[in-house]
Amino acid sequence: METVIPCVLMRGGTSRGPFFLGDWLPADPAERDRLLLLAMGSPHALQVDGLGGGNSLTSKVAIVSRPTRPDCDIDYLFAQVSVDRATVDTRPNCGNMLSGAAPFAIDEGLIAAGNGVTSVRVHNVNTGAVIEAVVQTPGGRLTYEGDTRIDGVPGAAAPVRLNFLDAWGAVTGSVFPTGHRQEWVDGIAVTLIDAAMPMVLMRAADFGLTGQETPAQLDGNAGLLERMERIRVVAGARMGLGDVRNSVIPKPVLLAPGSATRHAPPSAAMAMPALSVQSRYFTPRACHRAHAATGAVGVASAFLMPGTVAHDCGGPPLQAGYRTVRIEHPSGVMEIDVDLDAASGVVRAAGLVRTARKIMRGLLYVPGHYAVAGVMPVQAVA
């Protein structure tokens, strides 16, 4: 027997994966996760028997449902399906896949399109945070076509503006879960931060690196990966996340001064309007080929907050209001707008632009019988 369910394959930002309505999947989380492992072809290095692409960036799932909060338009649950392990992690958010949630919801009739642009309040079920997604709907019709380009993705598409409204401390309860902006783990200075994504921020220089290394160079450095994993496990416990060995959070990040700082004379570096920081973001056991959107929001926020290791990489003096930070990553640049509170220096909001593309819609065939409302198992075709 096998189960047949609807499925929409989409690219969201620099990630890709199947999108499902919540009603298309089993209500029981354990049964749902078993289905997702089969759907993606995990665990297998190539995920050859499923929809996964053999990389953490293409082994992601988005589940969109009608809202459970009165102040939101849709619920969005993100699932990171491990490539080489039989695990599904629903603790983190993914901002790249999030960029496809509102277009998918409009396409599937969960919400109506406005005329010109449509603002959708998204409840991220993983973290409890609310994000505003602004999508292009000229003439009241959703479009994926446009002139916006993002580094790490070929071609152009319609912009999707993501405004993170209350993602600060959403997972752990505090932006700085340990109460410190900087501390030590295994002889390395770290900032443990929960700003859109729980992360362990570290200076690349403390590992003898420049911060401009390629993902292939970093992934090939076994000693570096082992040490960062030791640090990540200790950091996870300190952040109140428990044993994180089988979880994808917190994410390790290596930082270095960006080009605006590197190429400016010392007297001018802090005054330059173009603020930039070099970032190598890990997912967590391999370096991202571009950068996670949620991770970029957290890095940019930390970069503007004195006392963090990110701020040590060329961060400016504290200034209230919106500032744009350029996150330099292996595939190019991502710009994040961050709004700081004047009195506390705490982040009030942050936003960035992503794009999305609907690749295909069809039926997914999964071995076995799964209890999905309105979906009947069918005999496997010989």
Which residues is 184 bridged to in the sheet? 189
Is residue 265's pLDDT more than 80? no
Give the CATH class of 183-343.
alpha beta
Asked whether the beta carbons of 291 and 14 are under 8 A apart, the reply is: yes
* Average confidence (pLDDT) over 275-297: 95
Is residue 188's pLDDT more than 80? yes
From 21-30, 184-193, 265-274, the region with the lowest mean pLDDT: 265-274
Asked whether the beta carbons of 83 and 122 are under 8 A apart, the reply is: no
Residues 342-365 have pLDDT tens digits of 677 678 889 999 999 999 999 999
User: Is 2-168+357-378 in CATH node 3.10.310.10?
Assistant: yes
In this structure, the chain runs to a length of 382
Answer whether 2-168+357-378 and 183-343 agree in fold.
yes
Taking the model in full, what pTM does it have?
0.84
Per-residue pLDDT at 272: 43
Is residue 63's pLDDT more than 90? yes
User: How far is the C-alpha of 108 from the C-alpha of 79, rounded, in Å?
Assistant: 20
Domain residue spans of the chain: 2-168+357-378, 183-343
pLDDT, the chain, mean: 92
Q: Residue 155: left (phi > 0), alpha (psi -120 to 50), or beta?
A: left
Band of the pLDDT at 54, cuts 50, 70, 90?
Answer: very high
